[in-house]
Structure 1
Amino acid sequence: MKNRFLSNILLTFIWVAITGSFEFANYVFGFILSFIILYVITQGRGSAKYFKIVPKLISFILFFLYELLKANLQVAYDVITPTFYMKPGIVRVPLDAETNLEITLLANLITLTPGTLSLDVSDDRKVLYVHAMYISDKEAFIKDIKEGFEKRLLEILR
């Protein structure tokens, strides 16, 4: 997997050097083009884990940016309006994440999103305690974390 990633980066830089355009869009296009070329060349050889993880990773980054923007707008709207719409609370989120890395990454992603803060993990590492500013439906909040951040994160890490 490491070799394919390095090959992808090398082909991207070759593409950028050949085209002579050092703009961000050209790097992105070069990365996508070299990803497709590597996929076609190595199809049917060895494990294809790299070709499964990269699209999931890009999808995860876009999902996180969307959630980050949505949470920022919600908090900013609540701050600039005279009426507070906050319904704060602490929620127990059951975890499917098992390793320290998985739990730490999930907790950090939740904390990075405005309006939520990871507080603690239970001693048996089965529950994450999260403080949230907007909890109108506890079950929906838990479902959003489980089917959003945790599911996508575990798809990449496992």
Structure 2
Amino acid sequence: MNRMFLANILLAIAWAAMSGAFSLPNLIFGFLIGMVSMFIIREQMGTLSHLQRARRVLSLFLLFLVELVKSATRVALLALKPNLDDLKPGFFAYELNTDNDGEISLLAGLITLTPGTLSVDVSDDKKYLYIHAVTIDDLDAMRADIANGFEKKIMEAFR
């Protein structure tokens, strides 16, 4: 759990203790007061506010939805072609920019959930993610899409 979120929960409990009412509305009010307080002193603490982090996580989620629709459309069009000779399936290694287990797992999951790609393995040294794609037209473009898309958004959201 994020330590800032935990601190905010503790501030909400402290508010409820000081006000003498442990009702849900009062705890929520205390949580909101804690959010505002931490937002005001965020620069001294050197962390993102909950709202900034939430915005970045939402941005990652929206990117996933866009990529999901684009890749599902591409795979559907490929499946409708009468001649599947145009397919160039294959495996490739993607060089990771992160070595954080959680970020790697999330990246692998998002790639696997996107139609037409499947995360297969991670190298022992956590430097490469091995991916299978239904068709590989431009390998450099695929790697750039992952680096500038999912991986970048994951690192922005969770660091």
Q: TM-score, normalised by structure 1?
A: 0.72
Matched with 2:104 is 103
Cα pair distance change 1:121/1:41, threshold 3 Å: closer
Question: 2 CA distance for matches of 1:133 and 1:142?
Answer: 15
Q: CA deviation at 1:41?
A: 4.3
Question: 1 CA distance for matches of 2:109 and 2:58?
Answer: 18
Deviates more, 1:124-133 or 1:97-106: 97-106
Structure 1, gaps ≥5 residues long:
8-13, 15-36
Question: 2 CA distance for matches of 1:105 and 1:86?
Answer: 27
Please give the per-residue CA displacement for 1:58-85, whole angstroms capped at 9, x wherever unaligned.
1111110000011111111111221334
Matched with 1:115 is 116
SS of 2:109's equivalent in the other structure is helix
Matched with 1:81 is 81
RMSD between aligned alpha carbons?
2.7
Question: 2 CA distance for matches of 1:41 and 1:90?
Answer: 48
Deviates more, 1:146-155 or 1:45-54: 45-54
Deviates more, 1:56-65 or 1:82-91: 82-91
Question: 2 CA distance for matches of 1:139 and 1:113?
Answer: 18
Please give the per-residue CA displacement for 1:85-109, whole angstroms capped at 9, x wherever unaligned.
4221111100112122111111111
Is 2:41 the partner of 1:45? yes
Question: 1 CA distance for matches of 2:36 and 2:124?
Answer: 48
Identical amino acids, percent of aligned pairs: 40
Is 2:130 the partner of 1:129? yes
Question: 2 CA distance for matches of 1:139 and 1:61?
Answer: 24
Is 2:88 the partner of 1:92? no
Q: How many residues align?
A: 132
Q: TM-score, normalised by structure 2?
A: 0.71
Say which one has the larger Rg. 2
Please give the per-residue CA displacement for 1:27-62, whole angstroms capped at 9, x wherever unaligned.
xxxxxxxxxx87x94442345621221111111111
The amino acid of 1:139's aligned partner reads: D
SS of 1:120's equivalent in the other structure is strand
Question: 2 CA distance for matches of 1:145 and 1:41?
Answer: 35
The amino acid of 2:149's aligned partner reads: G
Structure 2, gaps ≥5 residues long:
13-24, 26-31
Question: 2 CA distance for matches of 1:55 and 1:139?
Answer: 29
SS of 1:67's equivalent in the other structure is helix
